[in-house]
């Protein structure tokens, strides 16, 4: 791991256009981040990989996309209005705010030694008003988790798709939490994206499915190239469990700021469906037509953060390698995650025949792979630039290409080069990338 890894990742993200500070020209909105051209591709690739593995590769999970704004009663029933808070204390001297759980000494400011106020409960939900009148009858919340949008649609899915247990619903979307101590770049922010599955099972089989989801989700990260030594499972102690959960295991990544949660897999029991049934007056039980029984299924919830995963994949893929007298920075991202797959580079940009050949090759490859064309520098510089953003293959068109109709293909990780006939390039890349 290079020294100051996180500083280097943050600098690379800005330098190359992965992630920028929000509203930077106004001094920035703290702990809020915008994804630039490469960042949005990486994030979309990550979401696609998740959706592919949990929706398209299975027969028992449907996708959905619920609204961020929901009926305020949802958050009463879910327990968020009453229970979704952190305890915080303020320093009377320096005015800084701390999460009580992070304080070794609950009375003394860890930064200036000043006196701390009594801990106060601080609800993490963002509150706003719907419509033009800002009074209590119009209060509405920005959802703090995507899960509730799934629970309240449970009956709609039963009625429209008639699934049999076990089955699940998967959703990716923004959530908002008014965190007391956001920080560590995109790790903890107030606006973030979640990818969540709610998997409905017969109550007596909940433990079995819980265990298998922990394995499945752990292996998903490994399959996309996270190093095994940087990933671990951490089962929660009973004192840590959320008010609705019977068991929970976190999947943690070894960030340079310490082991931290990427995803939690929880057994939420039948808490949510029962609460919403009671609060809405609607019957949210499942009907087992073989046993002729109506009951509330248990729910296993694998709940991951898109932004946290992106950060873990970036940190894990970051390498500095000595090449002769130089150091190259390279992002060794998995082929499914790399924002750009192929770059076509003309060796001499003042030779129109070479430029034309390179441009037409790029245009052809764009039909099948995310491909860029770049002629804005000398070849060494162009390679470094592509390495830093994780481009898998660079194809160079040179003088010889005009005669032998071949190009040089350079592999990002090994830097090995080989000559390939232009009319075989597509097949070559398909074998590597698909
Ligand atoms: P933490 O303990 O780190 O606050 P949590 O246990 O409250 O997280 P969950 O409620 O289980 O988190 O949310 C599921 C996932 O959503 C987390 O594993 C994480 O990846 C993501 N997530 C939660 N809060 C944030 C946040 N403030 N910023 C970025 N991602 C978040």
The rounded distance, in Å, linking the Cα atoms of 373 and 361 is 9
Percent above pLDDT 70 for the chain = 100
Supply the pLDDT for residue 208.
98
Confidence bin at 213 (pLDDT 50/70/90): very high
pLDDT digits (tens, 9 = 90+) for 175-205: 999 999 899 999 999 999 999 999 999 999 9
Rounded to the nearest integer, the mean pLDDT of the chain is 96
Interval between CA 310 and ligand 1 midpoint (Å): 14
Tell how strand 417-421 and strand 406-411 pair up: antiparallel
- Does 307 sit in the ligand 1 pocket, CB within 6 Å? yes
- Does 262 sit in the ligand 1 pocket, CB within 6 Å? yes
Number of Cβ within 10 Å of residue 315's Cβ equals 20
Confidence bin at 279 (pLDDT 50/70/90): very high
Q: How far is CA 98 from CA 92, 172, 177, 182, 215, in A?
A: 12, 30, 16, 11, 35
Supply the pLDDT for residue 57.
97
Percent above pLDDT 90 for the chain = 89
Specify the DSSP element, H or E, that contains 317. helix 306-317
Interval between CA 248 and ligand 1 midpoint (Å): 13
Calculate the CA dihedral of residues 82, 84, 89, 90 and round it to 10 degrees: -100
Number of Cβ within 10 Å of residue 284's Cβ equals 20
Interval between CA 159 and ligand 1 midpoint (Å): 32
pLDDT digits (tens, 9 = 90+) for 96-107: 989 898 899 999
Q: Atom 29, ligand 1: which residue's CA is nearest? A: 188
pLDDT digits (tens, 9 = 90+) for 88-133: 899 999 989 898 988 999 999 999 999 999 998 888 999 999 998 8
The rounded distance, in Å, linking the Cα atoms of 107 and 119 is 9
Interval between CA 259 and ligand 1 midpoint (Å): 14
Q: Which atom of ligand 1 is nearest to the CA of 306?
A: 20
The rounded distance, in Å, linking the Cα atoms of 361 and 371 is 10
Q: Atom 16, ligand 1: which residue's CA is nearest? A: 305
Q: Which atom of ligand 1 is nearest to the CA of 190?
A: 27
* Res. 45: pLDDT tops 80: yes
Q: Atom 2, ligand 1: which residue's CA is nearest? A: 261
The rounded distance, in Å, linking the Cα atoms of 356 and 354 is 5
Supply the pLDDT for residue 135.
87
Mutate to test the pocket of ligand 1, among 194, 217, 255 (most ligand atoms within 8 A of CB): 194
- Does 177 sit in the ligand 1 pocket, CB within 6 Å? yes
Confidence bin at 242 (pLDDT 50/70/90): confident
Interval between CA 338 and ligand 1 midpoint (Å): 25
Supply the pLDDT for residue 122.
85
DSSP result, 131-153: SS--SGGGEEEE-S-SHHHHHTT
Domains of the chain: 5-84+124-314 (3.30.930.10), 85-123 (no CATH), 340-433 (3.40.50.800)
Higher pLDDT, 126 or 85: 126
- Does 308 sit in the ligand 1 pocket, CB within 6 Å? yes
- Does 143 sit in the ligand 1 pocket, CB within 6 Å? no
Interval between CA 89 and ligand 1 midpoint (Å): 21
pLDDT digits (tens, 9 = 90+) for 321-367: 999 889 999 999 999 999 999 999 999 989 999 999 999 999 999 99
Q: Atom 28, ligand 1: which residue's CA is nearest? A: 188
Record the pTM.
0.94
Higher pLDDT, 241 or 162: 162
Supply the pLDDT for residue 222.
98
**Hey, what are 53's tokens?**
């593995």
Mutate to test the pocket of ligand 1, among 178, 232, 306, 308 (most ligand atoms within 8 A of CB): 308
Mutate to test the pocket of ligand 1, among 143, 144, 188, 311 (most ligand atoms within 8 A of CB): 188
- Judge whether 314 and 281 are in contact, CB under 8 Å: no
- Judge whether 284 and 154 are in contact, CB under 8 Å: yes
CB proximity list for 74: less than 8 A, separation 6 or greater: 148, 152, 276
């Amino acid at each position: 791991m290079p020294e100051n890894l996180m500083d280097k990742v943050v600098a690379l993200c800005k330098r190359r256009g992965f992630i920028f500070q929000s509203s930077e020209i106004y001094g920035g909105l703290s702990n809020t981040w915008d994804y630039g051209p490469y960042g949005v591709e990486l994030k979309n690739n990550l979401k696609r990989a998740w959706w592919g593995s949990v929706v398209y590769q299975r027969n028992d999970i449907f996708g959905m996309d619920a609204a961020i704004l929901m009926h305020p009663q949802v958050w009463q029933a879910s327990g968020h209005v009453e229970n979704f808070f952190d305890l915080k204390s303020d320093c009377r001297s320096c005015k800084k705010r701390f999460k009580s759980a992070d304080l070794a000494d609950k009375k003394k400011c860890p930064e200036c030694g000043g006196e701390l106020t009594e801990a106060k409960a601080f609800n993490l939900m963002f509150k706003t008003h719907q419509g033009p009148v800002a009074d209590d009858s119009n209060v509405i919340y920005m959802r703090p988790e995507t899960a509730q949008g799934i629970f309240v649609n449970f009956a709609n899915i039963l009625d429209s798709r008639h699934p049999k247990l076990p089955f699940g619903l998967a959703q990716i979307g923004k959530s908002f939490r008014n965190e007391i101590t956001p920080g560590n770049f995109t790790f903890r922010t107030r606006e973030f994206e979640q990818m969540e599955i709610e998997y409905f099972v017969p109550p007596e089989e909940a433990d079995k499915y819980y265990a298998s989801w922990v394995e499945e989700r752990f292996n998903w990260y490994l399959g996309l190239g996270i190093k095994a030594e940087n990933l671990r499972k951490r089962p929660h102690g009973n004192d840590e469990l959320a008010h609705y959960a019977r068991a929970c295991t976190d999947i943690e990544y070894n960030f340079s700021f310490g082991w931290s949660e990427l995803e939690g897999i929880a057994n939420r029991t039948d808490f949510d469906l029962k609460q919403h049934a009671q609060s809405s007056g609607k019957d949210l039980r499942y009907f087992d037509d073989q046993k002729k029984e109506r009951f509330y299924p248990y729910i296993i919830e694998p709940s991951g953060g898109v932004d946290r995963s992106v950060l873990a994949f970036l940190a894990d893929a970051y390498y500095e390698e000595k090449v002769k007298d130089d150091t190259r920075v390279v992002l060794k991202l998995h082929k499914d995650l790399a924002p750009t797959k192929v770059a076509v580079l003309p060796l001499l940009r003042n030779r129109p025949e070479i430029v034309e050949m390179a441009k037409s090759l790029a245009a052809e490859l764009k039909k099948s792979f995310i491909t860029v064309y770049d002629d804005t520098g000398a070849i060494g510089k162009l390679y470094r630039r592509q390495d830093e953003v994780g481009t898998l293959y660079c194809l160079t068109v040179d003088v010889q290409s005009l005669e032998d109709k071949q190009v040089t293909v350079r592999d990002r990780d090994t830097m090995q080069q080989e000559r390939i006939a232009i009319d075989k390039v597509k097949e070559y890349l398909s074998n590597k990338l698909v």
